[in-house]
Amino acid sequence: MSPTEYTILSNFLLPPAPLPTIVSLAQFTSYFPRAQQSSPQIKRLYRDLQHQRSFITDKVTTSITTECKRGNGDRLQVIRSRRESERGAGQGRDEEVEVEEAMFNGKTSNLPTVKDMHSLRSIVGEMEKAAEDLEEEIRRDEEEIERLEVEMRGVIGGLSDLRYGRLANGELRDQVLEGLARMGGSCELGR
């Protein structure tokens, strides 16, 4: 049996496991500096992350269900259209032309016309221009790749510094603690 739309979307869009299966509280705590690992704020942050992940998963599941229902409605519409076209097939019109006319508001898109036809000379020129355009696009993409690589190396270096406690911003530790304290305060107010 072939997979359904719901199965495909669920397999690719929903997380395969809950947060504790991916990263335990102990592992999550180990990502913080040793001096802060005993802070109760970390456990609250972990629970908040679990809640957010669960909320997003529920929202995605709802969206998948909605899209599958919409897809089924579209499928029924296609079947109805196909049946109507089969009933009217005796009129001698090409079905592909009818579909194109329906899609492009009465105009056929790729049916050749005399003015659109290429000669051998004109097609060679068009192909050379297309090749030049592709080469230029490849050159721009390579430049973009190099720029992104430099940027990623900087981010990785910064993350490495964070992991080993060598921070360029000496006030970052205090800012994180202050942010955790504010978040804890807002959690206390919400109860």
Interior/surface letters 127-163, b for 16+ CB within 10 angstroms, e for the rest = eeeeeeeeeeeeeeeeeeeeeeeeeeeeeeeeeeeee
Per residue in 5-33, pLDDT (tens digit) is 788 888 878 877 777 878 888 898 888 88
Task: Give the whole-angstrom CA distance, residue 51 versus residue 45.
Answer: 10
Per residue in 70-83, pLDDT (tens digit) is 888 888 888 888 88
Contact between residue 60 and residue 14 where contact means Cβ atoms under 8 Å apart: yes
Task: Give the whole-angstrom CA distance, residue 177 versus residue 33.
Answer: 11
Residue 84 — pLDDT band, cuts 50, 70, 90? confident
In the chain, the amino acid numbered 191 is R
Q: Record the pTM.
A: 0.39
